[in-house]
């Protein structure tokens, strides 16, 4: 087996798998300390997932929310990035196996985040659109625009409207924000682009299995979001599950059917697991059971943080929520603990500090909760924008996003209505057969493996 | 055959194929006049080709140089856009045949521009990278970054350096500007991203068959560009042709070989022809012979403008240069002539007004020629930036490009080093077999045709 070429050194090697919120924070915490850090990701960029829905709805380009990982770490010492896909862990030898070779570790941290959970529904996995990656967001943008172009070609009114309709499954932040953004496209952008179509007939449906939207927030916020969505013309179906989808007809548990060529599935996520982890360490939602130090149960020197980790305690019987703040705080705590452990000091258990939650539905329409402070409306919207802008990596990204937001606000516009790479069903069928789109890492392995 | 659904009307229908510089200007000239305009393009956006090389070298995102066609024309009356690929013309019935159906016309204007000309070299067509479209620019960006990631994995120095080297064939504006941009990446960006690689060993070669660069400009500009490129570390090979490429070894006519995994072919363009045009109307470089009114020889009511048209006169024995200004001016003149013809007035012959030429090599390094005015250096660079910024469609695009340029200038940076969709050889092989990447238009036709 090929060995990944990273300098051998006398200081301990920390291998981090995943450059998401948790992995980045961990690597930053270990900056220029007495450890060698190797960060592995299948992409060469970090994705700011909270704004993915704006890429999908033609509001932002990928460069606004994706940041090159090498750029973040260019001044770090003893830091190495490798573009690779991790295939598994060899417990005997303390090595990870990747598509570009294997690598030994002194500390291993799994920070692979989460992926879309279809709960076994293969129809929806094949024909629905997920929204967890930049490529998926671009595909959704293309599909939406392609379907509007196709709507012009249908003389049959049902076919035409099924191309214009959207059904979004899952009333979490992604579903709510996406539905709101589509409502604004319907109101201000699409009628100008498609004067030949009766865009008023475009339907946007949001289907949620539970009794309210945004279950991570309070009832007040749920109700306000619901009101905002209704104002934007979104039909919200609570206590309703989507049971099937044949590419046009959406079967709901209520017995009612909806008709759309655009089904977005944001109703569930699951941990992004790798091979080599025993079943007894894996819990609900394909997450890894960790103790209060984020150490994987049954392993030494193997840790997991963020979405892929489940720290089951009395306060968190199902683990922590799968949100950025948990990953960031766990990354920081683990970084300190690794340094403590090397120095022979005792590690500190993880203590989650909830900094609050927020979601935006549209222009002047957002809900924010920070401890006991709750706000809805224009002020909440402003907070939402400020927090998201400031959380973006890099000054240039902040500037580009700001230019776009100001432009969109003044002009009621979403300017990036570009079909650069058309989405096609063929890909969806490959997905069904379990053939993932060829990734950079796979391409790289061709000539190495 | 399915008929494209555009309202029948008593006013004449002008069908324009292609939303490039010429097609847009023509449609704008016909704005709200007594004609129905149908614009057809295989993309839903206009591409500002002069800045494509900046997308390829991680300086700009597609949204900066691509503009949604529907957005440009949203206030036009009697205007229809269709996303389609034109397959041919039926001369008998005055109809065009597209992948979404057929359409009759009163006036037909071919404004399909040009595509890469490999002069029959299938090796290079298969393994070289062209740079004429947004997708190709993104592919080149991905390939460059993937090859640097791969370079890290090669223990063999020759393999490693072949991944870092670039060979650009063709010393026109695209070749010169791309080589200069790569020189700046080598100088300021790549060494920071890849401290493990000896980026000083990265070679950039520009190979030109003729005796000088930028043949469209004067000798002074050619020589200055050459000096600028040398300053940036680019090796320029004049009077040299590339004869073969096996994916690594570039055979030059001088007998010397170069070694690279990154070969960019910008050594030739040819008209983007469609079926149904008799051989006697087609001339050198796959362009259509037109008279001084841009009318295609042997046809009535069928015109061609821009790169795809060749107006052979005493002053232009090989037709006009294939540049944006010719297309724009022909679009405007033809628009006026169509309106004149409808009114029974005599058409005016086309008279090209050369507004000058310019090219940029790098920071403070550009050459500009406007009539007798010639400038090189920082002032020319400023003019180049100003002209290109002002030529972009839309305020938001101008603002986004400006933010990026200012950022890049201050920080010696090119921030968009993202491999969003990895480039893979498979596509190149499909290209060899004549299978073009599936376009939006093709996808749309699936369910219509």
Q: What is the pLDDT of residues B271-326, one digit of tens each?
A: 999 988 989 999 999 999 999 999 998 888 999 999 999 999 999 999 999 999 99
pLDDT band, residue A424 (cuts 50/70/90): confident
- Whether ipTM tops 0.90, in short, is yes
A418 to B447: CB separation less than 8 angstroms, yes or no: no
pLDDT at B4: 87
pLDDT digits (tens, 9 = 90+) for A382-401: 999 999 999 998 888 899 89
Give the C-alpha separation, A163 to A263, whole Å. Answer: 10
Q: Find the residue in A nearest to B133 (Cα).
A: A420
Task: Give yes or no: A446 in active site.
Answer: no
Q: What is the mean pLDDT of residues A238-245?
A: 97
* Spatial CA neighbour of B25 closest among B305, B241, B416, B223: B305
Phi, psi of A425 (to 5 degrees): -60, -30
Candidate list B61, B177, B184, B369, residue with the active-site label: B177
Distance between CA atoms of residues A414 and B299, nearest Å: 42
Residue A228: per-residue pLDDT: 98
Chosen from B9, B133, B396 to mutate, greatest number of chain A CBs within 10 A: B396
* Interchain contact A156–B (C-beta under 8 A): no
Confidence at A98, pLDDT banded by 50, 70, 90? very high
Q: Are B392 and B398 in contact (CB under 8 A)?
A: yes
Q: Is the pLDDT of residue A431 over 60?
A: no
On whether any CB of chain B is under 8 Å from the CB of A336, the answer is no
Q: Does B156 touch chain A (CB under 8 A)?
A: no
Out of A407, A420, A426, the one facing B396 most closely (by C-beta) is A407
Give dist(CA B183, CA B395) in Å, integer.
30
Q: Which of residues 62-91 of A touch B (CB under 8 A)?
A: 62-63, 66, 68, 70-71, 74, 80, 82-83
Predicted confidence (pLDDT) per residue in B77-131, tens digit: 999 999 999 999 998 899 999 999 999 999 999 999 999 999 999 999 999 999 9
- B122 has a chain A CB within 8 A of its CB: no
Instruction: Considering the domain delimited by B122-267+363-432, tell me its CATH architecture.
Output: 3-Layer(bba) Sandwich (3.50)
Strand pairing category for A373-376 and A365-370: antiparallel
Please answer whether residues A225 and B106 qualify as being in contact, where contact means their C-beta atoms are separated by less than 8 angstroms: no
Q: CATH 3.40.50.720: does it fit domain A122-267+417-432?
A: no
Of residues B150, B195, B417, nearest to A71 (C-beta): B417
Are A68 and B193 inside 8 Å of each other by CB?
yes
Q: Which chain A residues contact residue B442 at CB under 8 A? A: 422
Q: Count residue pairs from A and B with Cβ separation < 8 A.
A: 175
Partner-chain contact A193 B100, CB within 8 Å: no
Binned at pLDDT 50, 70 and 90, residue A445 comes out as low
User: b/e per residue, A264-279, with b = 16+ CB within 10 A?
Assistant: bbbbbbbbbbbeebee
Q: B280-298 burial string, b = 16+ CB within 10 Å, else e?
A: ebbbebbbbbbeebbbbbe
For residue A414, the chain B residues in CB contact (below 8 A) are none
B145 is written with which tokens?
Answer: 């970054």
Banded model confidence at residue A426, pLDDT cuts 50, 70, 90: low
| Mean of pLDDT over chain A | 93
Q: Which residues of B touch A135 (CB under 8 A)?
A: 420-421
Check if B428 contacts A (Cβ < 8 Å).
no
Q: In DSSP terms, which residues pair with B80 in a beta bridge?
A: B38
By the 8 A CB rule, do B50 and B5 touch? no
Pick the CATH number of B13-42+84-116+270-342 from 1.10.10.60, 3.50.50.60, 1.20.1560.10, 1.10.150.120: 3.50.50.60
Tell me the nearest-neighbour CA distance from A255 into chain B, angstroms: 29
Give B256 to chain A, closest Cα distance, Å: 26
Convert the pLDDT of each residue in B378-434 to its tens digit.
Answer: 999 999 999 999 999 888 889 989 999 999 999 999 989 999 999 986 665 555 455
Q: By the CB < 8 Å criterion, does B273 face chain A?
A: no
How many angstroms separate the CA atoms of B131 and B116, rounded? 8
User: How many angstroms away from the CA of B351 is the closest CA of chain A?
Assistant: 35
Q: Find the residue in A nearest to B396 (Cα).
A: A407
Whether the domain at B13-42+84-116+270-342 and the domain at B122-267+363-432 fall into the same CATH topology:
yes
**Cβ-defined contact of B438 to A426 (cutoff 8 Å):** yes
Q: Indicate the residue of A192, A400, A443 with minimum beta-carbon distance to B422.
A: A443
What residue segments make up the domains of chain B, in order of their start? 13-42+84-116+270-342, 122-267+363-432
Percent of chain B predicted with pLDDT > 90: 87
Question: Does A435 contact chain B (CB < 8 Å)?
Answer: no
Count of other CB atoms within 10 angstroms of residue A176: 30
- pLDDT tens column, A138-148: 999 999 999 99
Query: Please, what is the angle between helix A134-151 and helix A157-164, to 10°?
Result: 150
* pLDDT tier for residue B228 given thresholds of 50, 70 and 90: very high
How far is Cα B151 from Cα A330, in angstroms, rounded to an integer?
34
Calculate the alpha carbon distances from A102 to A3, A88, B80 in Å: 5, 10, 57
Question: Are B62 and B55 in contact, with CB atoms under 8 Å apart?
Answer: yes
Question: Taking CB atoms and an 8 Å cutoff, what residues of chain A touch B425?
Answer: 443, 446
Q: Report if pTM > 0.90.
A: yes
**CA A394 vs CA A391, A398, A399: distances in Å:** 9, 7, 9
- Express as a percent the part of chain A with pLDDT over 90: 87
Mean pLDDT of all residues in B20-24? 98
């Amino acid at each position: 087996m090929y060995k990944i070429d990273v300098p051998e050194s006398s200081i301990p090697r920390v291998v981090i798998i995943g450059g998401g919120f948790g992995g980045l924070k961990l690597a930053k915490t270990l900056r220029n300390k007495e450890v060698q850090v190797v960060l592995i990701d299948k992409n060469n960029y970090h994705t700011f997932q909270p704004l993915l829905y704006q890429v999908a709805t033609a509001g932002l380009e990928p460069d606004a929310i994706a940041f090159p990982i090498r750029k973040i770490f260019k001044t770090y010492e003893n830091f190495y990035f490798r573009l690779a896909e991790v295939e598994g862990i060899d417990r005997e030898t303390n090595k990870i196996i990747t598509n570009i070779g294997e690598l030994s570790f002194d500390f291993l941290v799994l920070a692979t985040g989460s992926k879309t959970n279809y709960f076994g529904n293969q129809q929806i996995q094949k024909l629905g659109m997920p929204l967890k990656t930049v490529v998926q967001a671009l595909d959704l943008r293309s599909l939406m625009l392609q379907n509007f172009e196709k709507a012009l070609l249908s003389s049959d009114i049902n076919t035409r409207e099924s191309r214009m309709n959207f059904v979004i499954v899952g009333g979490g932040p992604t579903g709510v924000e996406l539905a709101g953004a589509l409502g604004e496209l319907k109101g201000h952008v699409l009628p100008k682009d498609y004067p030949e179509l009766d865009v008023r007939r475009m339907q946007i449906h949001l289907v949620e299995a539970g009794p309210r939207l945004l279950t991570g927030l309070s009832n007040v916020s749920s109700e306000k979001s619901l009101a905002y969505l209704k104002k934007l013309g979104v039909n919200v179906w609570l206590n309703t599950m989507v049971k099937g989808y044949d590419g046009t007809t959406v079967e709901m548990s209520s017995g009612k059917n909806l008709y759309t060529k655009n089904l977005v599935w944001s109703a569930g996520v699951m941990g992004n697991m790798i091979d080599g982890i025993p079943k007894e360490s894996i819990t609900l939602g394909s997450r890894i059971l960790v103790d209060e130090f984020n150490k994987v149960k049954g392993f030494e020197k193997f840790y997991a943080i963020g979405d892929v980790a489940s720290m089951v305690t009395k306060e968190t019987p199902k683990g922590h929520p799968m949100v950025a703040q948990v990953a960031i705080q766990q990354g920081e705590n683990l970084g300190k603990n690794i340094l403590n452990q090397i120095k022979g000091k005792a590690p500190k258990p993880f203590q989650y500090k909830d900094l609050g939650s927020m979601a935006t539905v549209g222009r002047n329409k957002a809900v924010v909760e920070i401890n006991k402070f709750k706000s809805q409306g224009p002020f909440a919207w402003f907070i939402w924008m400020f927090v998201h802008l400031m959380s973006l990596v890099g000054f240039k990204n902040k500037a580009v996003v700001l230019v776009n937001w100001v432009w969109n606000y003044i002009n009621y516009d979403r300017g990036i209505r570009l079909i650069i790479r058309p989405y096609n069903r063929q890909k969806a069928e490959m997905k069904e057969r379990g053939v993932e789109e060829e990734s950079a890492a796979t391409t790289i392995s061709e000539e190495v493996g």
